[in-house]
Structure 1
């Protein structure tokens, strides 16, 4: 098989067939989960590489193939914009959240001590994630996204109140029942609306990462 035949196969199979991958990603939009992003991100990486190979030999393409190549490049650019619009991106097959991988975010967790007595005042303007540990095991991951209403301070102090403001769901009741045992860590994402968007994506990512048992007690987020 000659170079032209190989190039023709790439143009026909990759450039013409790959767009369904882009279409699937575009339809899922903000619902994209980490596993789906990683799997499809690798496909997109391969697609990008093949487009580059086709482009490197564009002088051997027919006018029609050149037009198709430009069309697929635009579709790829559109896909990347859609992914970036929900706060995530894919680089070399790895999902990035606000430019950081899940492992980079993982390194930013910081302990604040026992939930029952932790000083929450320094975090009343921050949004992000919190995780509860019992006997060293991560049992719950939640998000604090009330940017203009107390941030972490508001969200975590709800569990300590005498009222049932944070105990409308089974997991909230469980957390309140174990206040003496829970050690809490927080992951500060930022102090902006964009940080809220990133926090929501990271919440799904870390729940998938840790598979905490108390998150399974109710499906609604609160």
Structure 2
């Protein structure tokens, strides 16, 4: 990863403090993901009316990236709950392929980039960037 150096002119102690900044647009956001544990036992209730991204991982590999900006209809809680139901049916026969998925192995992570309505553009932009970078298998099979 390429690193560039910039001057932080707003630093309170010095007008010329040198800081390091990456050129990877997702570097900051990669550290902001919160784990909810495994899908089978995850509690989505606290995320009612929250907008943001979510992803499913198995053995550390991203399998699905999704997002929601519709906070009035339940936000992340609704999207995560609906995906659980959809995966139970759709993943069995996705495009003619049979999947054997152990739902106790799917780890759920969420990323909340801000509050409604300010984070809508950020959420949509990050979703596209993560889909492009990670190329999750389930996104390609289901959509």
Q: In the alignment, which of 117, 123, 135 is matched to residue 199 of structure 1?
A: 123
TM-score computed with the length of structure 1 as normaliser? 0.46
Mapped partners of 2:121, 2:62: distance in 1: 23
Unpaired runs of 5+ in structure 2? 1-20
Q: Alignment length, in residue pairs? A: 117
Moved beyond 4 Å, runs of 4+: 169-175
1:210 Cα deviation after fit: 1.2
SS in 2 for 1:180: helix
> Which fold has the larger relative contact order, with Cα–Cα distance below 8 Å and residues 6 or more apart in sequence?
2
- More helix by percentage: 1
1:170 Cα deviation after fit: 4.8
Q: In the alignment, which of 115, 126, 139 is matched to residue 215 of structure 1?
A: 139
1:108 maps onto 2:29 in alignment: no
1:148 Cα deviation after fit: 1.1
The 1:187–1:178 alpha-carbon spacing in structure 2 relative to 1, beyond 3 Å, is same
1:141 Cα deviation after fit: 0.7
TM-score computed with the length of structure 2 as normaliser? 0.69
- More strand by percentage: 2
**Contact 1:132–1:183 (8 Å) recurs in 2:** yes
Unpaired runs of 5+ in structure 1? 1-91, 96-100
Larger Cα-atom Rg: 1
